[in-house]
C-alpha cells in the first residue's frame, strides 16, 4: 500500500524538470561518446579493481575504448548487486534501448554499438538532458578556468577552491594563480588581492557558487597572526617539506588564511559556499584513478563553529561524507540560519543511507533549507539514474512519514518533494 503510494508520488516527482546543483561536467564535452566514457566512471573502475581486477588491466596505456569496456564487463558479475551498477543498467535501458537486466560478456558488444550510434547523433547532449528532465547544470571549475566557449545559461560556473587552500605550496598552482590574475601571490595581501580577482572573474561569468572539499581534520579558525604569516611567508605557504598537520602549525594557519579569505569574498560577492566535509585523499595510493580516497568518521561540524558565526551573511550548503555526520548536519541546519543541507555525497549516496538521512532532514530541518540532491556526475548520462534513485528514496519518505503517518494529502507531500528537488536550488543559489 505505502509502496504503491510511493510509486505514485515518484511518478509525479519525475515530471518535474530540474537544475542539478553540483556536477563535474566538462561543458565543452558534456555527454559521453562511447560506453567507455560511461564505464570509465570511477565507480566502475574502482569496484572492478576492488572485486579483483588488477589496476594495470583497467588502466593499461593505449587501451582502446571497446577493449576497456569488454574488460570491465567481465567484473560486472561481481558487482551487479551494487547500486552503482544499477545506475549503469538503468541508463542503458533509458537511453540506448537496452532490454536486458544485466550487461554480460554475451550482450555488451551490441549494447556498445547501439550506444555509440545514439551518442553520435549531433543533438545527443540535448536529447539526453531532455530525457533526463534536467535543464541547467552546475559545473566545478578550476580557479583559472577562462569560463568561455560554453552556454552559461545551461552550464552554471562554480568556483572550486581546493587547489588554493590545500595545494598552494605547489609552484604550479601559484603560477596558475599568477597567470589567471596577473598578481604574484607573494604576501598575504597579494593572495587576498588575487583571490578577489578570481571572484570578479567568476561572478562576471555567471558563477552561482563557490565550493571546496575538506579533510576530516580541518577546523578553520579566524586568521589572527597576520604578522607571523607575513614574516614566515615561506613556512606558511610555500615550503613543500613542511609537516602540514596540526592546527597550530604555521602551515595550517596559511591554509586557514586562504580559506577564510575565500569565505570573505563569498560574503562580498554573495555566493553560497558549498562545503563538502570529510574526505581523506589518497588513502589507497595503489587504487585506480579517482578510486583512492576514503574517510575518517571522527569529524564534527563543531569544527566549523567559528566560520558559521563569523559569516552570517554567507549560506553554507553542506555535504557530509560520513553518514554518521547526518544528525549533526540536521541539527546545525535547524539552529544556524546560514547552514543548509546539501544532498547525499559519495559514500553516503546509497539508498539505505539516503532514506535515513532524508527522513531525518524532512522531520527536523526547515523545508526551505534542504537541497535534496545533486548528481556529482562527470557525464550527462548519469543524471537520470542518480536522480531516479534519489526520487525513489524521497518518495518513500514522503509516503511513509507524511501521507501515512501524518495524514498529509498527496498534493501537500508532492509540494514538499518539489521544493527540495528544485525550489530550494533556485532560491538558495539564486538561479
Closest CB 300 distance from its own copies, rounded Å? 4
88 vs 258 by CB, closer to its own copies = 88
CA distances from 254 to 176, 192, 370 (A): 18, 12, 32
Q: What is the CA radius of gyration of the chain?
A: 22
Interacting stretch for its own copies, rule CB under 8 A, among 59-67, 188-196, 316-324, 374-382?
316-324
Stretch that binds its own copies, among 135-143, 154-162, 234-242, 277-285 (CB under 8 A): 277-285
Q: How many CA atoms lie within 13 A of 236 on its CB side?
A: 23
Q: Quote the CA–CA distance of 340 and 368 in Å, as a whole number.
A: 9
Q: What residues between 367 and 406 interact with its own copies by CB under 8 A?
A: 367-369, 392, 401-402, 404-406
Q: Does 284 bind its own copies (CB under 8 A)?
A: yes
CA–CA distance, 34 with 318 (Å, rounded to integer): 34
Please state, in angstroms and rounded to a whole number, the distance separating the CA atoms of residues 112 and 36: 9
Q: Which stretch binds its own copies (CB under 8 A): 25-33, 179-187, 189-197, 330-338?
A: 330-338
Residue closer to its own copies (CB basis): 166 or 257: 166
Residue number with CB closer to its own copies (245 or 352): 352
The three-state DSSP-derived secondary structure of 177-236 is: HHHHHCCCCCCHHHHHHHHHHHHHHHHHCCCCEEEEEECCCCCCCCCCCHHHHHHCHHHH
Q: Which three cell numbers stand for residue 87?
A: 545506475
**For its own copies, the closer CB: 224 or 300:** 300
Position 337 contacts its own copies (CB under 8 A): yes
Regarding 324 and contact with its own copies (CB under 8 A), the answer is yes
**Closer CB to its own copies, residue 24 or residue 55?**
55
- Euclidean distance between CA atoms 329 and 339, whole angstroms: 8
Q: Which of residues 68-107 bind its own copies (CB under 8 A)?
A: 78-84, 86, 101
Q: Contacts with its own copies in 205-264 (CB under 8 A)? A: none
Binding its own copies (rule: CB under 8 A), the pick from 362, 383, 399, 414 is 362
By beta-carbon proximity to its own copies, the closer residue of 269 and 347 is 347
Residues 22-61 that bind its own copies (CB under 8 A): 46-47, 49-52
CB of 336 to its own copies, least distance (A): 6
Q: Is 282 left (phi over 0), alpha (psi -120 to 50) or beta?
A: left
Work out whether 295 is an interface residue with its own copies (CB under 8 A).
yes
For its own copies, the closer of residues 14 and 127 by Cβ is 14
Cell of residue 243, nine digits: 609537516
Residue numbers 167-196 binding its own copies by CB under 8 A:
none
How far apart are alpha carbons 117 and 404 in whole angstroms?
Answer: 46
**Measured from the CB of residue 255, what is the shortest distance to its own copies in angstroms?**
20
Considering only 221, 252, 348, 375, the residue that binds its own copies (CB under 8 A) is 348
Closest separation in Å from C-beta 374 to its own copies = 19
3-state secondary structure of 385: helix
Task: Give the Cα separation of 144 and 127 in Å (integer).
Answer: 31
The helix (run of H) or strand (run of E) holding residue 307 is helix 305-310
Binding residue for its own copies, selected from 106, 245, 352, 426, defined by CB under 8 A: 352
Pick the closer one to its own copies by CB: 18 or 403. Answer: 403
> For residues 75 and 103, is the Cβ–Cβ distance under 8 A?
no
CA angle 397, 402, 405 (to 5 degrees): 105
Q: How far is the CB of 337 from its own copies (least distance, A)?
A: 5
Q: Which three cell numbers stand for residue 176?
A: 596558475
Of 154-162, 233-241, 343-351, 379-387, the window that binds its own copies (rule: CB under 8 A) is 343-351
The one among 180, 235, 267, 356 contacting its own copies by CB under 8 A = 356
Q: Please, where are the H alpha helices in 59-187?
A: 65-79, 83-95, 108-120, 124-132, 162-166, 171-181
Amino acid at each position: 500500500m505505502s509502496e504503491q503510494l510511493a510509486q505514485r508520488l515518484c511518478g509525479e516527482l519525475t515530471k518535474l524538470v530540474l537544475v542539478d546543483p553540483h556536477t563535474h561536467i566538462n561543458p565543452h564535452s558534456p555527454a559521453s561518446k562511447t560506453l567507455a566514457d560511461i564505464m570509465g566512471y570511477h565507480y566502475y573502475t574502482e569496484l572492478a579493481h576492488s572485486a579483483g581486477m588488477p589496476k594495470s588491466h583497467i588502466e593499461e596505456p593505449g587501451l582502446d575504448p571497446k577493449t576497456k569496456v569488454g574488460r570491465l564487463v567481465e567484473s560486472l558479475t561481481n558487482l551487479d548487486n551494487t547500486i552503482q551498477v544499477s545506475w549503469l543498467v538503468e541508463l542503458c535501458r533509458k537511453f540506448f534501448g537496452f532490454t536486458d537486466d544485466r550487461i554480460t560478456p554475451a550482450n555488451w558488444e551490441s549494447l556498445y554499438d547501439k550506444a555509440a550510434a545514439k551518442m553520435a547523433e549531433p543533438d545527443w547532449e540535448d536529447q539526453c538532458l531532455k530525457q533526463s528532465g534536467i535543464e541547467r547544470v552546475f559545473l566545478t571549475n578550476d580557479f583559472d578556468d577562462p569560463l568561455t566557449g560554453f552556454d552559461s545559461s545551461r552550464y552554471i560556473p562554480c568556483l572550486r577552491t581546493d587547489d588554493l587552500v590545500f595545494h598552494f605550496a605547489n609552484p604550479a598552482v601559484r603560477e596558475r594563480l599568477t597567470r589567471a590574475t596577473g598578481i604574484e601571490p607573494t604576501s598575504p595581501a597579494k593572495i587576498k588581492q588575487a583571490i578577489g580577482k578570481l571572484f570578479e572573474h567568476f561572478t562576471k561569468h555567471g558563477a552561482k557558487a563557490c565550493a571546496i572539499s575538506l579533510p576530516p581534520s580541518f577546523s578553520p579558525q579566524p586568521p589572527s597572526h597576520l604578522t607571523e604569516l607575513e614574516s614566515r611567508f615561506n613556512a606558511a605557504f610555500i615550503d613543500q617539506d613542511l609537516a602540514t598537520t596540526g592546527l597550530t602549525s604555521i602551515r595550517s594557519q596559511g591554509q586557514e588564511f586562504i580559506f577564510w579569505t575565500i569565505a570573505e569574498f563569498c560574503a562580498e560577492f554573495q555566493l553560497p559556499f558549498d562545503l563538502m566535509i570529510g574526505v581523506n585523499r589518497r588513502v589507497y595510493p595503489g587504487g585506480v584513478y579517482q578510486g583512492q580516497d576514503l574517510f575518517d568518521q571522527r569529524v564534527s561540524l563543531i569544527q566549523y563553529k567559528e566560520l558559521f558565526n563569523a559569516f552570517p551573511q554567507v549560506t553554507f550548503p553542506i555535504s557530509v561524507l560520513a553518514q554518521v555526520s547526518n544528525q549533526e548536519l540536521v541539527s546545525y541546519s535547524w539552529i544556524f540560519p546560514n547552514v543548509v543541507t546539501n544532498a547525499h555525497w559519495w559514500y553516503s549516496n546509497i539508498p539505505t543511507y539516503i532514506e535515513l538521512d532524508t527522513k531525518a532532514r524532512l522531520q527536523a530541518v526547515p523545508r526551505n533549507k534542504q537541497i535534496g540532491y545533486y548528481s556529482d556526475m562527470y557525464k550527462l548520462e548519469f543524471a537520470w539514474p542518480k536522480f531516479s534513485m534519489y526520487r525513489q528514496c524521497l518518495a518513500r519518505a514522503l509516503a511513509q512519514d507524511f501521507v501515512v503517518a501524518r495524514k498529509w494529502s498527496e498534493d501537500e507531500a508532492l509540494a514538499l518533494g518539489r521544493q527540495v528537488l528544485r525550489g530550494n536550488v533556485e532560491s538558495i543559489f539564486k538561479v
